[in-house]
């Protein structure tokens, strides 16, 4: 009888641990209003920081040598990061936040180089099966919610990500720590 009680206790403990793990897996994923309007993740700066670039642009027509270069910081929700580290793929409900910040070079004791200043805009890319192609693109600007981009507004994003992304629709080639994982797991697109 005591063996049965111990066995039931173990089974119950495993079931609770599994249920808690399953709830946590999506607790940091996207939240929507009106079905598809993404709520700006308030704690994204506590997520996994993937990389930062300065002055990066994918459209040569937007390059302006006279304009101050912006920093782009990329964050991903922790549960999706952990999943990618195990599989080399992004699970459904992955959310990337792209934070664009202005830059400056003259302040305090700085004598050279550039540093980040105020937020210019915020964008997000979400892997979610409810969107065409399984990915949604959002531009918050400085708002608290954003509608998904559709039609002509999203076509350049989809085209660029489809052609140039290293893993699925993401630019893992710019995230050095994840690029090696994708190589090991065999999830890089050909040509990367």
The domain containing residue 34 runs over which residues? 29-185
In a domain, 11, yes or no: no
Give 32's contacts (C-beta < 8 A, 6+ positions apart).
38, 39
In a domain, 24, yes or no: no
CA dist 81 to 13, 123, 133, Å? 26, 18, 21
Distance in angstroms (rounded) separating the CA atoms of residues 41 and 17:
26
In a domain, 18, yes or no: no
Q: Spell out the per-residue pLDDT of the chain, length 192, in tens.
A: 665 554 444 454 444 444 434 334 458 999 999 999 999 999 999 999 999 888 887 666 555 666 668 889 999 999 999 999 999 999 999 999 999 988 778 778 877 777 767 888 899 999 999 998 999 999 998 788 888 888 888 888 889 899 999 999 999 999 999 999 999 999 999 999
**Side-by-side strand order, sheet with 32-33:** 32-33, 37-39, 145-146
pTM: predicted TM-score of the whole model, two decimal places = 0.79
**CA-closest candidate to residue 119, choices 75, 79, 156:** 75
In a domain, 20, yes or no: no
In a domain, 3, yes or no: no
In a domain, 84, yes or no: yes
In a domain, 14, yes or no: no
In a domain, 91, yes or no: yes
Q: What is the CATH number of the domain that holds 143?
A: 3.50.70.20
- Per-residue pLDDT at 61: 59
Tokens of 40: 């700006």
User: H-helix or E-strand containing 100?
Assistant: strand 94-104
Count structural domains, the chain: 1
- Helix ranges (H only) for 57-175 are 78-87, 155-164
């Amino acid at each position: 009888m005591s063996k049965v009680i111990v066995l039931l206790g173990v089974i119950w403990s495993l079931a609770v641990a599994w249920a808690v793990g399953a709830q946590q897996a999506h607790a940091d994923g996207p939240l929507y209003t009106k079905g598809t309007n993404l709520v700006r993740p308030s704690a994204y700066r506590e997520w996994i920081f993937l990389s930062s670039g300065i002055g990066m642009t994918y459209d040569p027509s937007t390059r302006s040598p006279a304009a101050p270069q912006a920093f782009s910081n990329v964050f991903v929700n922790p549960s999706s990061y952990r999943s990618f580290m195990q599989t080399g793929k992004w699970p459904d409900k992955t959310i990337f936040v792209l934070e664009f910040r202005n830059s400056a070079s003259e302040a305090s004791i700085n004598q050279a180089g550039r540093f980040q200043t105020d937020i210019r805009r915020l964008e997000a890319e979400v892997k979610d099966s409810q969107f065409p192609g399984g990915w949604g693109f959002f531009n918050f600007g400085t708002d608290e919610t954003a509608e998904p981009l559709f039609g002509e507004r999203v076509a350049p994003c989809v085209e660029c990500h489809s052609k140039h992304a290293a893993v699925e629709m993401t630019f893992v080639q710019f995230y050095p720590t994840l690029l090696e994982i994708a190589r090991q797991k065999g999830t890089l697109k050909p040509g990367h």
